[in-house]
Amino acid sequence: MASGINDFTNTFIARVFNVGLTIAIQGCLAWFLLPAGRGSYAVCLIFTSLLIYVFSLGSDIAFSYFVSSKRLSLSESITISFVLISLISFCAIFCGYIVLQLPFAFISKASYSAFLLSLFYVPCLLYANIYLQLFTAIGSFQLYGFLLVLRELNRLILVLFFVLWLSYGVEGALLANICSDLIIIFLSLFFYFFRFHVKLVRIHWLSLKNILSYGVRYYLGRLSNILNFHIATIILAFFATKEEIGLFSVAIALTVRIEMIPDVFFAVIFPRVAASTTGRQELVAQCARISGLICGIILILLGIFAQPIIKMLFSPAFLASVSLVRILIIGTIVRCGAKIFVSYLLGTDHPGIASISVAIGVLINIILIYTLFPIFQLNGAAVSVTINYLFSSLILIVSFRYLTGLTFREILVPSRSDLAFLQSAIRSRFFRSTSKNIA
């Protein structure tokens, strides 16, 4: 397997292209759908995400953990996923269809046909995410990066086709997501079966039990994590207009793109933590510091230039999102560093702690948004998200210190080795360095 430095740079570059394409997609949707349509689209995506995380029982991350730790073969993982995800998808779609028949306020935020497409998107998104993540579990980071970029490139082309050319609106945006993920699913299976020689095997009850056990322990955290990201928008779906939801969703979408940096670190170090008997705690702490530093610089620049960026990318109709972005940046900086500690908690079989940290953050978010939104409107919702990020991040940092025995100074204060890591990352890509900082 390539060195960790090369894994990081390959994945990082793929993520950069991925983020660029994602921003282009978000910009197209903003220009084509305007705030009201963008709000309807956001509500449909949240509906899909909630169904996935409610019914998946955290099993998606469990597959990656068991393959990374060599406790499950790739063939076993693919076989079990066929059965388990099919059952999960059936339950999610059936219950989602029942919900659509009920008189909930958020259902009025999008058309019935758009919500039906969001139901069909459930298995597509779940299969695509699991199969992509498994490439990191087996150390195939170049293929993982290639498929990530291809996924968003397909989505951009399909958005232009369905939304711009055919004028399908919100339904067209959802169709673009569905078709893009179907392509990734079939390509992933092609590589698994013909390059990695995966075969369907007999499912053992113990393996299925272990996956479900791990998933259930992280279930609260997985569900809370999606709520952590979407709870403000979910609550707004009941009280705010489609235009307000669109403005808020753009602010969230812009700031969350920066989280691709901790996501890269997670993708690279999680399999190493899971495979290690020590948990690679110094490596995790170093990656957290570097992630927080890089994201902090980028987010501060984003805050300074938020107005021209939003005006150019999303159209002047979204300028009201500028203040929201600047508020969200505060919590996002801390979140981008602390998020790395989740890889340690999951990789050392402590998913319950990750669950608690996110659940407490979500509870704080719910209380604050109900308190602040009536007074400060969208700015109040943004403040509630920021405070949520700060509290959940603090719990992760304290838990990591308790489990590892490292001091807060060793965890949080940058060192010369951090700079050396960045230098090695640059050399490994542009000068073919053989650095083995993360092996």
Pick the more confident residue, 145 or 212: 145
Residue 430 above 50 pLDDT?
Answer: no
Pick the more confident residue, 108 or 59: 108
Quickly state the pLDDT bin for 431 (edges 50, 70, 90): very low
Residue 435 above 60 pLDDT?
Answer: no
Residue 437 above 50 pLDDT?
Answer: no
Pick the more confident residue, 307 or 410: 307
Quickly state the pLDDT bin for 415 (edges 50, 70, 90): confident
d(CA 335, CA 247): 22
The pLDDT of residue 6: 65
Give the count of domains, the chain: 1
Quickly state the pLDDT bin for 434 (edges 50, 70, 90): very low
- Mean pLDDT score, 32-58: 88
- CA proximity to 134, closest of 281, 274, 248: 274
- Window from 145-149, 211-215, 385-389, 418-422 with minimum mean pLDDT: 418-422
d(CA 409, CA 277): 24
Tens-digit pLDDT profile for residues 302-354: 999 999 999 999 999 999 999 999 999 999 999 999 989 988 887 887 777 77
Quickly state the pLDDT bin for 425 (edges 50, 70, 90): low
The pLDDT of residue 171: 97
The pLDDT of residue 433: 39
- Mean pLDDT score, 427-432: 46
Residue range(s) defining the domain that contains residue 223: 4-429
For the chain, give the number of residues: 439
Contact 78, 202 (CB under 8 A): no
The pLDDT of residue 158: 97
In a domain, 21, yes or no: yes
Quickly state the pLDDT bin for 8 (edges 50, 70, 90): low
The pLDDT of residue 58: 65
- Window from 46-50, 61-65, 98-102, 164-168 with minimum mean pLDDT: 61-65
- Mean pLDDT score, 375-401: 90
- Mean pLDDT score, 251-278: 83
The pLDDT of residue 304: 95
The pLDDT of residue 147: 94
- Mean pLDDT score, 399-414: 88
CA-to-CA dists, residue 151 to 134, 156, 228, angstroms: 16, 9, 25
- Mean pLDDT score, 370-389: 89
In a domain, 435, yes or no: no
In a domain, 86, yes or no: yes
Percent of the chain's residues with pLDDT above 90:
42
The pLDDT of residue 363: 83
- Mean pLDDT score, 117-141: 92
- Mean pLDDT score, 2-17: 67
The pLDDT of residue 436: 43
Tokens found for residue 163 = 């939304």
In a domain, 436, yes or no: no
Residue 365 above 70 pLDDT?
Answer: yes
SS3 50: helix
Quickly state the pLDDT bin for 429 (edges 50, 70, 90): very low
Helices in 138-204 by DSSP H: which ranges?
A: 141-159, 169-194
Amino acid residing at 157: I
In a domain, 439, yes or no: no
The pTM of the full predicted model, rounded to 2 decimals, is 0.80
In a domain, 66, yes or no: yes
In a domain, 434, yes or no: no
Q: How far is CA 202 from the centre of its chain?
A: 32
Tokens found for residue 118 = 């969001």
What is the overall mean pLDDT for the chain?
85
Cβ neighbours of residue 416 closer than 8 Å, sequence gap 6 or more: none
Amino acid residing at 219: Y
Pick the more confident residue, 364 or 95: 95
Tokens found for residue 58 = 């955290």
Tens-digit pLDDT profile for residues 170-192: 999 999 999 999 999 999 999 99
| Cα torsion angle, 43, 48, 54, 57, sign | negative
